[in-house]
Each structure stands twice: as structure tokens, then as C-alpha cells.
Structure 1
Amino acid sequence: MDSDASKADTLRGFQACFFVMRRLAAFPWTVLEKDLESNKSSDLILDILKHTCLHPVCRTFPPSARFRRTFLSELIRRQEAAGCEPLDELYDALAEVVGAEDAAEFYKSYFLPGGEAVSLLENAALISEGTTGLVTWEAALYLAEWALDHRQVFAGRTVLELGSGVGLAGIAICRSCRPGRFVFSDGHPRVLQTLRSNVRLNGLTSPAVGVERLDWTAATEGQLGRIGAETVIASDVVYDPGVAAGLAKLLVRILRSSSPDVFICSTVRNQETYSGFTQQLAKEGVGHQVMPGGVAGVFPYSRDSPIEMIKLFKRSE
């Protein structure tokens, strides 16, 4: 490798991609290929193993067995193609997962800037048990990155997250932004079960952190008042006209009853649906402003789709 810094960046790249199970094409293979060609040594591959399959996080919260088999097979293929000496640790790691059962659920781990991992139980299916809430979507990753850049929005405040899903954004905020109290919420029983499990396995406990069932169409004034949110967030919740309508009505109620800061992060897949959401808010006297600027690229995910972060506000009478 050209330098220790370059090697560290390469290892972080492999680690980040491995633990969120990115497509193999997204890994920094070019750097590895150049190292194998110039050194004819397996040293870098061994370091990659230590940051992926042999890492303590993988022992406790492993990605799917199928993904690990595919990743290790690709490492072996590239090592053999370069004519390097066989690496026992590489073949031992593959032997561990050759006969492992492929499960519908597995762990993904997202590394924060300080090196801590947010590990989440997720589902292989994008839609499972009638919900899309059992996987982490791009807007949640963007929201988490935005929060890391704007920690003052959350520090010391009571935060309510709507449609928390598996919990990535909220857990990252709890671990990095020091909220006074954080309330995760969702309306689907299966999602709530997974969410509670993920909150626990990341070491978050009550009373500072809570998980509630919150039905957007049936939430009471008492429930909202008891939460007393000073900051409200949501990500990837404006994807269906029916869902978006219920969310808009709830947000109008929240803004009328108090004056929290409300941030909605959306992957804009259908402009008509997204515009319908903001237009419904406008009819109720709620405006929005698009938050300017980008975010630091902390997590590995596709940034091809347009993602928009907006802040809501009550229009003056």
C-alpha cells in the first residue's frame, strides 16, 4: 500500500460494505488488486479478514451466511488469480459458513464515525408480513447522516420518531447526538417487535429511550401530549398516497398542539405522491422548507435516487 492512511481507508471501505452486505461490485477491489500485483503477498487479505469475517462484530451480529460465502469466495478467487500463497485463515473462514443455513433474518451493522457499530436485525425481503419496515431504507441512512451533522437539533431534547422501522436513524441519534429522551414509534406489530429487539441489543434502555405503538390515524391528544416532543423526525414514510395522507393529518395535529421542530426525509420515488403530501400540508396551513446542503458520507448506500429533507412550519394566520 502507498501509505498507512491509504491502507486504513481501504480496510474501512471493505468493513463498511461487508457489514451492510453491499453488492460485491461496490467493494474497493481495485486497491486490493494493485496490492496483490505489486507485493504478491496475502497480508492485505488477512487484514481485510480481520476487519470483516474475523471481526468481533461479525461473531456477535453476522451478516447472512450466503453473503459471507460469496464474499469469501471472491477473496479466494482474487488471491489465487494473483498467484499468492494460500492463506489458511481465509479457507478456515469459508469452511465455517459452507454448510451454514440461510435464514430470512440476519444482521447489518452500520459504523458510526467514532468506530462504534449500530447493529440491526433485518429481513431479506423488502416487503415481509405486509410491511416495508423490516429493512433499512436510504432515507433513514441520509437522516442519520444529517443528524450527525446537526447534533444541536437533538441534544438535550425530547425526540419523537415516526415510522421508526428497524431503528437505524433513531439508534444513531441516541448514540451520537445526546437527546434528553427519545421515543421510537411504529404502527405495525411485527415491526415493533423487531424494533424493540434492536433497541435492546444496542444497549438503549428506558426511561431515556422508549418504543411506542403509534397509529397515525388513531393517536390521541393524550398520547402526543405525554410524549411532549420537541423534535419530530421521520424517514421514508411518504411512499404511498394513503399512508402519506394519514401522516399529513397527524403532523398538522402535532404542529397545532405545540411547536416542535419537524423534519421529514424522503426518497422521492414518485413526484406526484410526494407533491400530494406537501400540498395536503399546505391546505392545512403547514409550509415546508428544503434543508440546504448535502451530508457527510458516513454510511455506504446508493445515492442515485433523489433524497429530500424538509422542515415543516406553521404558516402565520
Structure 2
Amino acid sequence: MENRRDEKASSLRWKILRSALLSHPTPSNYEDQSQMIIKRISRRTTHGFNFIPCQLIDDERDGSDSSTRDARFCYTLPIPHAPQLFLTQRVDNRADLSDFEKCNRYNVDNTGLVCNWPSEDVLAFYCLSHANIFRSKKVIELGSGYGLAGFVIAAATEASEVVISDGNPQVVDYTQRNIEANSGSFGDTIVKAMMFHWNQEDVSNVADKFDVIIASDCTFFKDFHRGLARVVKHLLSKTGSSEAIFLSPKRGNSLDLFLEVAKENGMHFTVTENYDKEVWKRHEGFLNEDRDSWPNYEKGHSYPLLIRITL
């Protein structure tokens, strides 16, 4: 068992592909073995850091419409008197051809539809723990996916405005639906969904001045580094006191390469590894005594570093 635990993820992925290509898989427990391997190497974790507790409350797939792929989740913010957030998300374990067609058409990836990723959960917790950063400020989340951090800021920090943006139109549709469903939880905070692709030449649709930019796990795709850096610089240049707060794992050399591009664009940044005692405690647990609860946890791929970017 220990040897299997130490087997490289790349080797396990090839093992799944080899088995899938065989016309006659021989082991009777082939399916069980495949599922066990997938759980170990998949980056779509069902555990995560779990700072913002989440509960499935309504699986729309149970209805008569078999084509429905959505479910509603209740997120409970871990502070007194905070409202609950009800977010509709995609929950099936497959991708449609239409998903990839839209990705090709809009030059985006499909990861925002898959789930709320662990870095987004940590970003939401960090924003909740540092609510004073956002109070009375205008905030934009880039590459939001389902935008948990943006929704948390809108519901619990007294920000003046929160824009939750993504380049995938399907993701933006979910965001708009979830804004409408939670409108009573935002108080006086204005909350908007926005279609915003980092590589678009015309950024006039982001004409507002934002005090804070947030993003999680947005530096993985190297093809988007220059576009993302250009957008961040454009947004930061609109006001002298603004900053970008990123939470991103190293993901090989992808984060380092993005920071090089940011530096080339005249931006300054700091990278902090241990920025919150609770986040660090859970990180160390996943590496040690709590290993079995997140068996595919790897520091470089799973643990988000705190990056603060200014001009």
C-alpha cells in the first residue's frame, strides 16, 4: 500500500489511459481500481480546505428533466450573524461537447464550471478574515469561476461594490443567477456579474476604478499570463491606492513565470507562504496526520501562496 501511495501521479494517469484503451480489461475489480486511482490523482477534490462549510440542499437532477446538470449548495459563513449563501453549480462528472465548443469559441478553459476549487475556498476565508480591506471599497474578482470569494465579500465585508468576472459565458450565467438568488444578503453592496476575458483588446467595459482586485488559482495557464498581467496593470493604474490579492499554488513553474511577466510590466509583488495560522495548520495536517482525508494533496499543486501586487 505504501508503494502504491508513493507512485507518481503521472504514472497513475498513464495507467488509467492504458486501461481505457484496452479492448478487454481483464481484472474484475478494474472499475474499483480506476476509481481509487482517480481519487488519488484528480485535482478536483471533494474535500478541500473546507473553511466555508458547504452542504448540498437541492439536487435538480432528481427532477423529471434528466438533462439538468445543476444542484444548489448552501455555504455557511463562519462568523456570527452572517447570511447563508445559496449557489447553483454544475455537479455532473462529465463534460459536454458543447462545453468544449464554447471554450474554443471564447478561448477559455472549462475549469470554472467544474467545482469551487480549494484556492477559492481559502481566498474566501482570507477575505472574510480581513474584511477591513474591503469595507467601503470597489472590488473585482478575476477568473472567478463560481465566485465564492466575491459572494463572501459582498455578503460580509460592507464593500461598496463587487464585480464577479470570468471569461467563460456559461460561468457568467451561473454568477448572474446566483446574484439574483442571493440579492437579499448583500445589504447596500452593489453586486454585478461581468463577462471579462483577459486577452480581449478592448477593456473599456472595465472602466470603473477598483480599489481591490482578487483572484484565485489564475496563473496556471501560461498562455494567459501576458493578458492577465496587462489587465491587472490596467486596473491598478486607475487609482493610486489599489492592489491585487492573488492566492495561487506554485503549480510547477507557472506562478514564477507569471510573476516574471508582472515584473516586466512594471508591477511590484510580495509572496507570502505562511499568511494565516489556520490555513497553515490545515496545510500541515494534509501533509502529515490528516493525509488520508486528502490523499492527492501536494504542496506545490494544492497549497495557495498569498501574492500581493501593486504598481
TM-score over 0.5 for the pair: yes
Counterparts of 1:207 and 1:173, CA distance in 2: 9
On the 8 A contact 2:76/2:84 being kept in 1, the answer is yes
Q: TM-score, normalised by structure 1?
A: 0.62
Checking the alignment, whether the CA contact within 8 Å between 2:139 and 2:212 is kept in structure 1 is yes
Q: Distance in 1 between matches of 2:164 and 2:46?
A: 27
**2:74 is the alignment partner of 1:109:** yes
Q: Return closer, same or farther for 1:119/1:219 CA change in 2, 3 Å cut-off.
A: farther
Indicate which of 220, 223, 227 corresponds to 2:205: 223
Provide structure 1 residue ranges, at least 5 long, that are not aligned to the other structure: 1-20, 28-51, 66-96
Q: Quick one: which of 221, 229, 248 aligns to 1:248?
A: 229
* 1:164 alignment partner, SS class: coil
Secondary structure in 2 matching 1:109 = strand
Name 1:182's counterpart in structure 2: 162
Rounded Cα–Cα distance in structure 1 between residues aligned with 2:152 and 2:59: 19
| Equivalent in 149, 154, 161 of residue 141 of structure 2 | 161
Tell me, yes or no, if the aligned pair for 1:186 and 1:213 is still in contact at 8 Å: yes
Deviations 1:126-145 (A, max 9, x none): 86613111221111101000
- 1:137 equivalent in alignment to 2:99: no
C-alpha distance in 2, partners of 1:127/1:172? 28
2:192 matches 1:210: yes
- 1:280 aligned residue: 261
1:289 aligns with 2:282: no
Report the count of equivalent residues: 227
Distance (whole Å) between structure 1 residues aligned to residue 94 and residue 131 of structure 2: 30
> Residue in 2 aligned with 1:199?
179
Identify which range, 122-131 or 165-174, moves more after superposition.
Answer: 122-131
Deviation at 1:174, TM superposition (A): 0.8
Per the alignment, residue 120 of structure 1 pairs with: 87
Task: State the match for 1:4 in structure 2.
Answer: none
Q: Which amino acid aligns with 2:183?
A: G
The one-character-per-residue Cα deviations of 1:93-124 (angstroms, maximum 9, x if unpaired) are: xxxx7x99695321222211136422221223
Change (3 A) 1:121 1:283: same
Q: Provide the C-alpha distance between the structure 2 equivalents of 1:147 and 1:267, rounded to a whole number of angstroms.
A: 17
Task: Indicate the structure (1 or 2) with the bigger Cα radius of gyration.
Answer: 1
Q: Quote the offset at 1:239 in angstroms.
A: 1.4
* Letter in structure 2 aligned against 1:236: D
Per-residue CA deviations over 1:270-302 (Å, capped at 9, x if unaligned) read 2211111001111112121124522646x9x95
- Letter in structure 2 aligned against 1:184: I
Amino acid at match of 1:111: T
Counterparts of 2:275 and 2:46, CA distance in 1? 26
How far the C-alpha of 1:186 sits from its partner, in A, is 1.3
Aligned partners of 1:182 and 1:209 also within 8 Å: yes
Distance 1:295 1:229, change over 3 A: farther
Q: CA deviation at 1:231?
A: 0.8
CA contact (8 A) 2:220 2:254 kept: yes
1:263 aligns with 2:245: yes
Choose which of 52, 58, 61 in structure 2 pairs with 1:62.
Answer: 58
Cα distance, 1:108–1:290 mapped onto 2, change above 3 Å: same
Q: Percent identity?
A: 21
Shift of 1:243: 2.0
8 Å CA contact retained: 2:137, 2:159: yes
Question: Tell me, what secondary structure is at the counterpart of 1:197?
Answer: helix
Alignment root-mean-square deviation, CA: 3.4
Does the CA contact (< 8 Å) of 1:145 and 1:296 recur in 2?
no
What is the Cα deviation at residue 195 of structure 1? 1.0
The gaps in structure 2 that reach 5 residues or longer are 1-44, 101-109, 283-292
